[in-house]
Structure 1
Amino acid sequence: MFEKNKESLPITYEDETIEDEIKQSYLDYAMSVIIGRAIPDIRDGLKPVHRRVIFAMHELNNIWNKKYLKSARVVGDVIGKYHPHGDCAVYDAIVRMAQEFSMRYVLIDGQGNFGSIDGDNAAAMRYTEVRMSRITNEFLYDIEKSTVDWVDNYDGSEKIPEFLPSRIPNLLINGTSGIAVGMATNIPPHNIKEVINACLAFIDNNKISIEDLMKYIKGPDFPTSGIIHGKSGILDAYKTGKGRIYIRAKYIIEKNKITGNEKIIITELPYQVNKARLIEKIAYLVKNKRLFGINELRDESDKDGLRIVIETKRYESGEIILNNLFAHTQLEVVYSINMVAVDKGKPKKFNIKQIIEAFINQRIEVITRRTLYELKKLKKRKHIIEGLIIAISNIDVVIELIKSASSLEQAKNKLINIKWKKNKLYKEIIIDEYIFTEYQIKAILDLKLHRLTSLESKNYIYEYKNTLNKITNLKKILSSFDYLMEIIRNELVEISSKYGDNRKTKINAIRNEINTVDLINEEKMVVTVSRSGYAKIQPISVYQAQKRGGRGKLATIITDEDVIEHLLVASNHDTILLFSDKGKVYWLKVYEIPQKSRSYRGRPLVNLLYLDENEKITAILAINDENSNKNNYIFFATALGKVKRTYMKQFARQRNCGIIALNLEEGDRLIGAAITNGKDNVMLLASNGKSIYFKESEVRAMGRNATGVMGMRLFPKNKIISLIIIKNQKKLQKYYILTASEKGYGKRTLLEDFNLRKRGGLGVIAMRSSKRNGKLVSAIKVKESDEIILITNRGKLVRTRVKEISCVSRDTQGVKLIRVNKEEKLVSVVRLGEKIDLK
C-alpha cells in the first residue's frame, strides 16, 4: 500500500533553501526595477515610460506641427498598449517632460497647467493637452527603416521598439534621475552645442582624453541656470562617473545710498529647488532667530522671470547674510552626480567619454541598419525598373503576347519563358539577354498605358540612373568607415545648428567657502564676550588713548547679573577659536560677530554657534595667516594649573557642532589658549600673584582628548588667571610682564626678572597681593611702545600707553591704572600693539 502511494507521488526536484529562493527572487525583482523602470538606456537616454510615451504619441501622429491632443488620450494609449503600470506614473512622466524648469530641452509641448517651480501640481490630465516638441522628432528619425529591434509589449499584442534611434545625445543633454533597488542614477543636463562639439571631437580622435573633452563640455547646464562653484567635482564626475558639485543661486546686491540698507535680489535658483519652500525656510530662520539682519522678504516673481527680494536691516552686510543663507538654506545645494545607465541589459557606471562613445556606436549601428534597409529597397526598385525598361523597349511583342494569352497566368508564363533583348537605345541596361522575374512581370502587367509615352520612358531611364547612383553611395557607406563617420558628423552639425543655444549655467573654476573677506576692509576690532554669552565687536578706533588712572569709556551695557569675561583685539578677517567649559572648540569669523554700538549688549553666542544647553565659552583665541601654520601647537592652561599642547593641524577640520579640544577634570575650566612653535617658553600666573616660568618642551605633544599635565601647583582657593607665551627670538627685545589686580592697580616688570624653572612648582612672586590692590586678575607680555585696553566687569574700557605705567620689581603692588567704583572690578587687560592708528 505504501509503495503504491509512493509511486503516485509527483516528481520532485532537489530541495532548495528558503535563503536561496528569496535571494533569487529578490535579484529578479531588482533587475526588473532597474531595467524596466528606473534606469535609462544608454543608447537613447530614456527610461521605458518616457520611451513608451514618445512612441505612443508618434503612433497617434501627435507631432510638433499637428494639433494638440488631450493628455488623457495619450495616457490611455500608453497604459493600454505599452506600459503595464498606473496612469499616475505615466502622466507624471508626461508632466515632467513638459516642464521648462525640469528639462533642459523639453520633449513635450504642453498646453495648460503643468505645475510650477513653487511645487504646484499640474492640472488633471483631462484638462491639459500635449504634443511632441520639435526636438522629440529626432528621437524617432528613420524608425520605420528597420533601424532598431522590436519587442513584444506586456501582453504580446503589440510591437514596441527596444530603444529609439535618437539623433541627439539625450542622456547628457537632458540628464535623468532615478532610484532603483540597490542602485540609483543622477545625471545632470548639459548644453546641446557643447555635447555635440565633444561628440565631433571624439569622432576626430577616439583616443581623446577626458580633460580634452572638457574643453568642449564645460560642465552641467541646468534649465534654472544658477552658478556652479568649483570644477573639481565636475572633473571627478566626468572621470569616474561619480562626483559632487555645488550650485548657488544667482543674486544681485543693491545698496540704498540714502538709508544705507542693502537689497539682495535672487534671480536664479539651483536646479530642482522649490521656490516656495525656500522662502518658507528663510522666514522660519528669521522668526526663530537663527538668521539675523533681514528686514523684509518678498516674492516678486512674475511671467518675466524669478525675483526674490531680501531687504537687510540698516548697516547689516548683505554678503554676510548671503553666506548664512548659503549655509542654512537651498540657495546653495550639493548635486551628487552618479552616471549609471543600462547597456545591453546590464546597469553600469560610465564616465563621460564612455557615454559619448556609446552614443556614437548607436549612431553607427542605426545608420548601418538604415543603409542596409535603403539598399535592399533600392535594389528591388532597380530590378523592377530594369524589367519595365526591357518591356517598353519590346512593347509590341509584350502587348501581342498578353493579347494572345487566355488568362493572367498564361500571360505570366509566356512573358517569363522568353529571353528578352534590350533595345540599343537603352545603353544603361548592362545585360544583353534578360529573363523577367515574377516581381518584374507583376510590375509590367500593372503598367498603365499612359506610362508608355516617350516622356514616361525617359523618366524610367532617369529614375534608373538615379537609383544606380544611390546604390553606389549606399555601398560606399557600408564599405568606408570614414564616409560613415562623415555622415554622422554632418547629422550632428545639423542638429547643433537647429537646436543649439547658449549656456545658461555659469561655472566658477574655484569654490571659495567664504569669499566675504575680500569684500570687507581689514580693520582692528575689539571683541567682547560677557559671562552670560553675549558677543559683539567694535572698531578699535572708538577708544582713544587716555592717561593712566582714567575712568574709561563705556564699552557695553552690562546688567547686575552679567560681567565682561573675555576681551580680544583681532582683525575682522581673523578666525576666532572659542573654547567652552565642556572642553570643546568652535570656529567663528570676527566679521560674523555683529558690530554694535556701546549701548548694545551684543548677540547671544547660542545664535552664532551650535552650543549645547548650559555650555559656556571660557577662552578665546585669534587665528590669522601669520600663526596658522599646521606645524604649530595650541597650548592650553586650566584654572587648576593643568597644561597641555596639541598640534594645530588637529583643529584644521572645522565642524559646526564643534570638536573636543581637551578633557577637563570636574571643577576645572580652561582659562587660556595660545599658539606656540614648540620652542617657546611658558609663563603661568595665579590669582595670589605667584608665577612660574618654564620651557614649552617640558610639556609633550598630546591628542585632543588628553587632560594634560601639571604646570603649576596652587595653594587652596587660588587659580591660574593668565597664560603668557614668550617667543624665542634671535634679536633680543626688551619685554615686560604687565600685571593688573582687581582693584585697578598694575605695574610692569622686566621679563629678565623672571628665571626659568621646572614646571609643576609653586612659583615665585610676580605681584604683591594685598587688601589695597586685591587679587591678580590679568597679566600680559608688552613692549614699552605698546598700548593696552583695560576692561571692568561693568563694561568700561580704558585705552592707555604702556610707557605711562611704572616699571618696578616683582615684589611690589603697582600703581593705579583705572579708577573703579566699590562694586566695580578690573577683569581683563589686552595688548593692542604699537601699530594702532589713534583717531
Structure 2
Amino acid sequence: MSSDAPEKFDPGAGIAAEVETARIEQEMEQSYIDYAMSVIAGRALPDVRDGLKPVHRRILYAMHESGVTARSSHRKSSSIVGETMGDYHPHGDSAIYDTLARMAQDFSMRYPLVDGQGNFGSVDGDPPAAMRYTEARMAPIAEELLADIEMDTVDFQSNYDDRLEEPEVLPSAFPNLLVNGSSGIAVGMSTNIPPHNLGEVIDATTHLIEHPDCTVEDLMEHVKGPDFPTGANIVGRNAIHKAYKTGRGRIRVRAEFEVQEDRIVITELPYQENKARLVERIADDVNEGKIEGIRDLRDESDRDGIRVVVELKRGANAEVVKNQLLEHHLESTFGVINLALVDGQPKVLDLKETLEEYLDHRREVVRRRSAYELEEKEDRAHILEGRLTALENVDDVVDVIRNSESRDDAKAALRGEHVVEVDGEALPTFDFSEAQADHIVAMQLGSLTAMEAGEIEDEYEEVQARIRRLETILNDPDELDAVVESELEEIKDEYDDDRRTSIVEDTGTVTHEDLIAEEDVVVVVTEDDYIKRMPLDNFRAQHRGGKGIIGTELKEGDRVSSVYVASTHDYLLYFTNHGQVYQLKTYQVPEMSRTARGKSAVNLLDLDDGEEITAVVNTAEMEADEEKYLTMATRNGYVKRTSVEQFQNIRSTGIIATKLDEDDALADVEVTDGSRDLILASRDGMAIRFEEADVRSMGRSARGVRGINLEGDDEVAALAAVEPDRHEWVLTVTEHGYGKRTDVDQYRRQSRNGKGLIDIKTNDRNGRVCELETVGPGDHLFVMSGDGQILRTPVEDISTVGRNTMGVIVMDLESGDAVASVDVHPGETAADEVAADADSDAESEGESASASGDGDGD
C-alpha cells in the first residue's frame, strides 16, 4: 500500500553523516589560535637564526635565484616584486615593495641588504617612488646571508603552490638578527630588536665560542649597546644592561646637538624619528608658547647629513631652551623586546641566548656544508683514482676500448663484466666502478700525456688533503668552531665600520626645574595669602629715601605681609604664625607682572583659616657638612633650636615646626650652626644678644625657652643671627620707613631672658620696629610697604649710627602706608648702579639722628 507521506529524516544517512557538531566558542577559539600562530610564525616575527621574516627571506631568495646579485646590474623593483609574489610570497605587491624599500634605506637598516637606485624614501617620511621607477639589486653583505645555500646547508620547503621550493631559513654568515634588528606586531605579542654594530656583535660571538660559560656581562664588554643607523646618543647603561639581561628594556635615545652662544644645532636624530614632523612639532610648541626663547627654526639638512638650526632670542637662556627641547622633542624611548622564533616557537631571549641560538645554527650550516663538500670530494677522488689507474695501464685500457663493439661494451669490459678478445685471446680485465668506467671512456686522447698525468696526480693529492680536513671538521667540534670563528672574522674584516651611536651618562630625566631659567626673583605675599614672583631685575637699586616702585596690586582691604628674594630653583620653607612649616619650590610660585595681584596661596600651600606666612627659609642655607639648626622665635619671646634633619620629609599638608601657646604666634626663623650669637628684637625697640648655645636643641613639638623678657604689650618683631667671621652691622627698620645701621659690637652679649638694650627709638616719627637684620658690605635691602610699593637700596646708603638713636629715612611712604616686610639680598657689590631719583635724596627733619646716649635699658 503506497503512501504520499514524506520519508522520515535519518540524521545518520547521506551528506548529513559528514556533518560534525561543534560548540561555536570552541571552534572560534581554535580558529583564532590557528590564525594567531600563522601570523606569528609566517609573517610578523623573525627567525632567531637569520634574523629575517618570511617576506625578507623570500625577496632575497628570489633575487638570488634571478641572479640579481651585488655583481649584476640593477633591475626594476617591479620585476623583483613580481617574481617574489608569483613564486614565493602570495600577498599584496605593496607589502613586498615596502619591505624591499626598507631594506634599501640606510636610515632604517644599520647594514642595508638591498642596493637601491632611485628614490627609496627619506628621513622626513617621504614615501619611496613607485616600484616601476626604482631599481635594486642585492647589497654585498646580503650575499653573505645566502652564501653556500646550494650546498645543502639549510632545509627547503615547498612554496605556496608546491611548484617550487624555498629555504626555511638562510645560512646567514653573520648574526643578522642583532646586526640589523627587527620589529613586528603579531597577535598578542610584538618584537622590537634594535640594530647593533657588526664588529661588536661578531666579537661577542667569537668570545662565546671560546668561553661557552661566559655571562651576559662578559658579552657586554664587546657589545656596548645598540648602534642605530641615524647615530644619536643612548642615555645611560642600566637600561641596556636590563635589555641584554632579560630581553626587555626601555632605552632612552637622545639627539646629537650642539649648544652655541645664540643657537642650538641638531645634527643627529633618534632612530626612526621623522625629521620633518619633528621640526613641525617644535614650531607648533613655539607658536603656542610652550617653548620660549626661540626666534627662528630652519632645516638646513642636505645629502651630507642632518642639520636643524634653532635660533635663540637675544637674552634667552640656552640651557632652558635645550631642556625644553629635550623634554618634548629631542629624546625618545626605544622599547626593546627581544622576541624571535626558536624552533618555530616565539621566545624572549637575552643576549647570550640569542648568540647561542645563532651559533647552533651556524655550526649546523658548517657541518652540513662540510658533509656535502666531503661527499663531492670523495666522488672526485674516486674518479681521479680511476684515471690514475687507467694511466698506469694505458695500453691495455686503450686496447679494451678500441676492440669493444660499442661504448657500452667498453664500459662493461672496464667494469670486469665483459671480456674482450683479440684473435681469440682475451684482453686484460679491470675492476673499475661504473662512474670510473664512464669517465675513462669519455676521456680525450690529450689527457694521456705525461703533463696531464702529473696534473691529475696533483689534483688527487689536493683532494685527499681536503678530504682529511673535512673529516677533521666533522669529527672534531673544536675544529668546526674554529671554522665558524674564522668565517666570522672574515665577515668582520670585510664589512665592519665605526660605531655611530654614542653612549652618554644618565644625568636623570629632564625635570620641570630644568625647564625654568635659574634667576633671582622677588616673591610677595599678602595678608589675604595672595602670592606671586617677579624677576629681581624689575627692581633697580635706588638711593634710600625713595618711594620705590609698585610691586603688586592689592584687592580692597588686603595688605602686603612679607617680601623675600630667592632663586627660582631654591626650595623654600614657609613658616606660618600657627607654627606649621610647608615646602615649596620658588618656580612653583606663579610669575606675574608688578601690577598683578598674584595667586591665592591656598592653591600652593594647604593653609588653614587665619594662617599667615611669617617667615621664609631657603634650604640652600641648610646644605653644609656641619650640623645646622632652624632657630625659631615667637611673638611672646620664646626661642628654640631644632636640627634641620627633622625637616627632611615635609608633607604637602605641612608639618609642625614648633608648639605654641594659645595666645602666641611664630615670629621669625633663622638658619644657625650652633656657634652663632642670636639677637632678638622687640616691636618697642628693645634688643637682646645671647649665645646660641644657651638654647638647647629640641624636637619639633617643643615650645622652647624664654629668649627675652618683654614688658607690657611688647612682642618679638624679628630674630637675627650674627656670623662671627663677617664684618656685620645690625640693621633696624621701623614701620614708618626709618632705619639705621649699628656696629654689631655695640650689642653686648647677655644671658637670655633679659630685658635687653635699647636698639632704636620708637616714637611717633619712627613707629614700632618692623624688622632687624644682620647685614654686610654689598648687601641690598628690599623694603615693601603694606600698600605694595617696593624699594631696593644698598644697605651702605643707610647711615651708621649708635644704638638708641632715631635713624634716617629709608623709604618715603604715602600717608596711611607702613612698612610691611624687609628682606636682605646678599652678594651685590657696592659699585652697583643706583637709579637717580630726585626725591630719594630728600631727608626728613631730624634725619641726622641725634644720639641720646647708649641707653642700655637694662
TM-score class normalised by the smaller sequence? 0.7 to 0.9
Q: Deviations over 1:353-394 (max 9, x none)?
A: 222222222221111111000001111111122222223333
Work out whether residues 107 and 136 of structure 1, in 8 Å CA contact, stay in contact via their aligned partners in 2: yes
Residue 148 and residue 696 in structure 1: after superposition, are their counterparts in 2 closer, same or farther (change >3 A)? same
Work out whether residues 724 and 781 of structure 1, in 8 Å CA contact, stay in contact via their aligned partners in 2: no
Partner Cα separation in structure 2 for residue 167 and residue 241 of structure 1: 23
Partner Cα separation in structure 2 for residue 280 and residue 188 of structure 1: 26
Residue 275 and residue 11 in structure 1: after superposition, are their counterparts in 2 closer, same or farther (change >3 A)? closer
Which of 66, 72, 77 is the matching residue for 2:72? 66
Residue 577 and residue 734 in structure 1: after superposition, are their counterparts in 2 closer, same or farther (change >3 A)? closer
Question: Could you tell me which residue of structure 2 aligns to residue 504 of structure 1?
Answer: 500
Query: Is 1:616 the counterpart of 2:599 in the alignment?
Result: yes
Letter matched to residue 565 of structure 2: V
TM-score by length of structure 2 reads 0.74
Partner Cα separation in structure 2 for residue 310 and residue 296 of structure 1: 6
Work out whether residues 362 and 484 of structure 2, in 8 Å CA contact, stay in contact via their aligned partners in 1: yes
Matches within 5 A, 1:125-204: 125-204=131-210
Q: Deviations over 1:272-306 (max 9, x none)?
A: 11111111111111111111111111111122221
Matches within 5 A, 1:181-330: 181-255=187-261, 262-329=262-329
Report deviation, 1:433: 10
Give the stretch that moved more between structures: 438-447 or 115-124. Answer: 438-447
Partner Cα separation in structure 2 for residue 796 and residue 577 of structure 1: 24
Matches within 5 A, 1:649-798: 663=606, 682-683=632-633, 704=651, 724-725=668-669, 730-731=674-675, 733-737=677-681, 749-750=687-688, 765-766=715-716, 788-792=781-785, 793-798=788-793
Partner Cα separation in structure 1 for residue 430 and residue 616 of structure 2: 107
Larger-Rg structure? 2
Give the stretch that moved more between structures: 526-535 or 311-320. Answer: 526-535
Residue 480 and residue 708 in structure 1: after superposition, are their counterparts in 2 closer, same or farther (change >3 A)? closer
Q: Deviations over 1:85-140 (max 9, x none)?
A: 21121111111111111111111111111111111111111111111111111111
Work out whether residues 300 and 306 of structure 2, in 8 Å CA contact, stay in contact via their aligned partners in 1: yes
Residue 601 and residue 65 in structure 1: after superposition, are their counterparts in 2 closer, same or farther (change >3 A)? same
Secondary structure of residue in 2 paired with 1:5: coil
Work out whether residues 176 and 187 of structure 1, in 8 Å CA contact, stay in contact via their aligned partners in 2: yes
Work out whether residues 736 and 781 of structure 1, in 8 Å CA contact, stay in contact via their aligned partners in 2: no
Partner Cα separation in structure 1 for residue 816 and residue 459 of structure 2: 114
Which of 450, 454, 458 is the matching residue for 2:454? 458
Secondary structure of residue in 1 paired with 2:677: coil
Report deviation, 1:669: 7.7
Partner Cα separation in structure 2 for residue 814 and residue 225 of structure 1: 68
Partner Cα separation in structure 2 for residue 540 and residue 173 of structure 1: 58
Once the two structures are aligned, what percentage of the paired residues are identical? Answer: 35
Question: Could you tell me which residue of structure 1 aligns to residue 52 of structure 2?
Answer: 46
Give the stretch that moved more between structures: 791-800 or 704-713. Answer: 704-713
Letter matched to residue 315 of structure 1: G
Secondary structure of residue in 2 paired with 1:569: strand
Residue 131 and residue 700 in structure 1: after superposition, are their counterparts in 2 closer, same or farther (change >3 A)? closer
Residue 22 and residue 397 in structure 1: after superposition, are their counterparts in 2 closer, same or farther (change >3 A)? same
Residue 512 and residue 233 in structure 1: after superposition, are their counterparts in 2 closer, same or farther (change >3 A)? same
Question: Could you tell me which residue of structure 2 aligns to residue 653 of structure 1?
Answer: none
Work out whether residues 780 and 793 of structure 2, in 8 Å CA contact, stay in contact via their aligned partners in 1: no
Report deviation, 1:175: 1.5
Residue 58 and residue 381 in structure 1: after superposition, are their counterparts in 2 closer, same or farther (change >3 A)? same
Question: Could you tell me which residue of structure 2 aligns to residue 491 of structure 1?
Answer: 487
Q: Deviations over 1:769-812 (max 9, x none)?
A: 99979999986876899875323413433453799799999xxx
Residue 488 and residue 80 in structure 1: after superposition, are their counterparts in 2 closer, same or farther (change >3 A)? same
Letter matched to residue 295 of structure 2: N
Question: Could you tell me which residue of structure 1 aligns to residue 17 of structure 2?
Answer: 10
Partner Cα separation in structure 1 for residue 574 and residue 124 of structure 2: 40
Report deviation, 1:44: 1.0
Query: Is 1:447 the counterpart of 2:452 in the alignment?
Result: no
Matches within 5 A, 1:470-481: 470-481=466-477
Matches within 5 A, 1:63-142: 63-142=69-148
Query: Is 1:821 the counterpart of 2:804 in the alignment?
Result: no
Work out whether residues 552 and 798 of structure 1, in 8 Å CA contact, stay in contact via their aligned partners in 2: no
Secondary structure of residue in 1 paired with 2:10: helix
Report deviation, 1:161: 0.9
Letter matched to residue 796 of structure 1: L
Residue 666 and residue 504 in structure 1: after superposition, are their counterparts in 2 closer, same or farther (change >3 A)? same
Residue 827 and residue 106 in structure 1: after superposition, are their counterparts in 2 closer, same or farther (change >3 A)? farther
Report deviation, 1:838: 3.8
Question: Could you tell me which residue of structure 2 aligns to residue 551 of structure 1?
Answer: 546
Give the stretch that moved more between structures: 283-292 or 405-414. Answer: 405-414
Partner Cα separation in structure 2 for residue 502 and residue 700 of structure 1: 52
Partner Cα separation in structure 2 for residue 90 and residue 46 of structure 1: 14
Aligned residues: 738
Report deviation, 1:242: 1.9
Partner Cα separation in structure 1 for residue 282 and residue 562 of structure 2: 32
Question: Could you tell me which residue of structure 1 aligns to residue 730 of structure 2?
Answer: none
Residue 6 and residue 90 in structure 1: after superposition, are their counterparts in 2 closer, same or farther (change >3 A)? closer
Work out whether residues 568 and 586 of structure 2, in 8 Å CA contact, stay in contact via their aligned partners in 1: no
Partner Cα separation in structure 1 for residue 334 and residue 8 of structure 2: 69
Work out whether residues 629 and 674 of structure 2, in 8 Å CA contact, stay in contact via their aligned partners in 1: no
Report deviation, 1:231: 1.6
Report deviation, 1:350: 1.7
Partner Cα separation in structure 2 for residue 485 and residue 88 of structure 1: 42
Secondary structure of residue in 2 paired with 1:791: strand
Question: Could you tell me which residue of structure 2 aligns to residue 623 of structure 1?
Answer: none
Partner Cα separation in structure 2 for residue 252 and residue 578 of structure 1: 40
Residue 44 and residue 748 in structure 1: after superposition, are their counterparts in 2 closer, same or farther (change >3 A)? farther
Partner Cα separation in structure 1 for residue 559 and residue 161 of structure 2: 81
Residue 231 and residue 602 in structure 1: after superposition, are their counterparts in 2 closer, same or farther (change >3 A)? farther
Q: Deviations over 1:722-773 (max 9, x none)?
A: 763456754352233577xxxxxx96744879999859xxx98446999979
Question: Could you tell me which residue of structure 1 aligns to residue 726 of structure 2?
Answer: none
Work out whether residues 341 and 347 of structure 2, in 8 Å CA contact, stay in contact via their aligned partners in 1: yes
Letter matched to residue 789 of structure 1: F
Query: Is 1:525 the counterpart of 2:530 in the alignment?
Result: no
Work out whether residues 628 and 672 of structure 2, in 8 Å CA contact, stay in contact via their aligned partners in 1: no
Residue 108 and residue 530 in structure 1: after superposition, are their counterparts in 2 closer, same or farther (change >3 A)? farther
Q: Deviations over 1:520-574 (max 9, x none)?
A: 9x99834446888764433799648x66xx32654x7756879988744345764
CA-atom RMSD in angstroms? 4.8
Residue 731 and residue 529 in structure 1: after superposition, are their counterparts in 2 closer, same or farther (change >3 A)? closer
TM-score by length of structure 1 reads 0.76
Partner Cα separation in structure 2 for residue 92 and residue 615 of structure 1: 57
Q: Deviations over 1:54-98 (max 9, x none)?
A: 111111111112111111111111121212321121111111111
Secondary structure of residue in 2 paired with 1:797: strand
Partner Cα separation in structure 1 for residue 572 and residue 163 of structure 2: 72
Partner Cα separation in structure 2 for residue 16 and residue 777 of structure 1: 91
Matches within 5 A, 1:559-574: 567-570=563-566, 574=570
Q: Deviations over 1:313-334 (max 9, x none)?
A: 11222222111111122x1222
Give the stretch that moved more between structures: 165-174 or 440-449. Answer: 440-449
Identify unmatched segments of 5+ residues in structure 2.
1-5, 420-427, 576-580, 697-701, 705-712, 718-733, 737-762, 832-858
